[in-house]
Structure 1
């Protein structure tokens, strides 16, 4: 299996793992399920904090770089379009739809940015280990960059992912505003 597909499958695994908590949450109607509803909701939200902006970042970077120059992503011919959409667009659409319309418990937090930073740092370290072990970078784009440029690229990806998180949190508040509850006014006798 190609190295690029392995990385894509890891990203899809994170997305589907996060989405599975949403399914568990909707299946459990009470406390008799294996997890309590609060545990499932907490885990789903925790994974969504990383998976939603990450899938947004993957889609933006992938399609942006692909439009600019597909040789920066692939050494070999591209995937068929339906498979490509299934890897790089559909997971983002599903996660964003779930996040914006069905995740009511989300609250923006500074700790979420720390989680994104921790993930970005871990991913950058993993990419370095990948290069050490296999002698090649998973994306041809990374082979064209010097070490300092690669660090800048990782930081720019983290900054973009953080921006996507903040934008998503803002849009989430728009779609999930609490509607004012109408109050009964007493009829005044004239």
Structure 2
């Protein structure tokens, strides 16, 4: 029965994430994303979504073919990156959405870098439909966390203290370099307003802070596993 429950979780979660990504293509903001250098993949949300969906697919396939041990191992080590990245995306996104939405959501129909203004009238923000928002910014973290606690083993001390920090630093170096390059190619416009509005040294601090949060989130989640 456990294998059936795992397959249901993996299949349903992967489908919801795919439908969320597909739905973005039909929204006006999808056209804006496609017009930018790097397209959708300059967004950490989309990269986290891909990692989470791949983890779900690998989990589903490894459940169907349990004798192929390499699939389960690949999924387990992909989750070392996917789980903390998805959790950090959810924490940052929903916190900023609730407290400072203009830092995470672009102005509606805006194609220019966001800049400070003395005007008392702020342009309307482009809020995603709730179902799409949840599929992009909640389902990856929730499904990976459920998968970890119910269908995965706790990570060993070596995996937590050696592999996890290397994975976190490696992914941060990749994404930080990639998004900085995209920002340069897009005339100083970054995928998220809070990056556009800050100078490079502050952005580097943000990348480092997110990496530290990612690593300690992974350690905390792993410590709760029994």
Q: How does the TM-score come out when normalised to structure 1?
A: 0.82
CA distance in 2, matches of 1:61, 1:40: 31
CA distance in 2, matches of 1:91, 1:39: 23
CA distance in 1, matches of 2:50, 2:207: 21
1:140 positional shift: 0.6
State yes or no: 1:119 paired with 2:171.
yes
State yes or no: 1:161 paired with 2:191.
no
Which digits, 9 at most, give the CA deviation of each residue in 1:79-128, with x for residues without a partner? 01111011100111101100111012632421221011000111000011
Residues 89-108 of structure 1 correspond to what in structure 2 (within 5 A)?
Answer: 89-104=138-153, 106-108=155-157
User: What corresponds to 1:146 in structure 2?
Assistant: 199
CA radius of gyration, larger in: 1
Output the aligned Cα RMSD.
1.6
Change (3 A) 1:160 1:21: same
State yes or no: 1:63 paired with 2:94.
yes
Unaligned runs of 5+ in 2: 1-29, 109-125
State yes or no: 1:24 paired with 2:70.
no
User: Which segment drifts farther, 121-130 or 140-149?
Assistant: 140-149
8 Å contact kept, 2:105–2:193: yes
8 Å contact kept, 1:58–1:88: yes
State yes or no: 1:11 paired with 2:48.
yes
Change (3 A) 1:29 1:143: closer
Unaligned runs of 5+ in 1: 31-35, 175-190
8 Å contact kept, 1:18–1:44: yes
- SS, match of residue 198 in structure 2: coil
CA distance in 2, matches of 1:20, 1:29: 14
User: What corresponds to 1:180 in structure 2?
Assistant: none
The total of aligned residue pairs comes to 167
1:29 positional shift: 4.0
CA distance in 2, matches of 1:29, 1:144: 49
8 Å contact kept, 2:90–2:137: yes
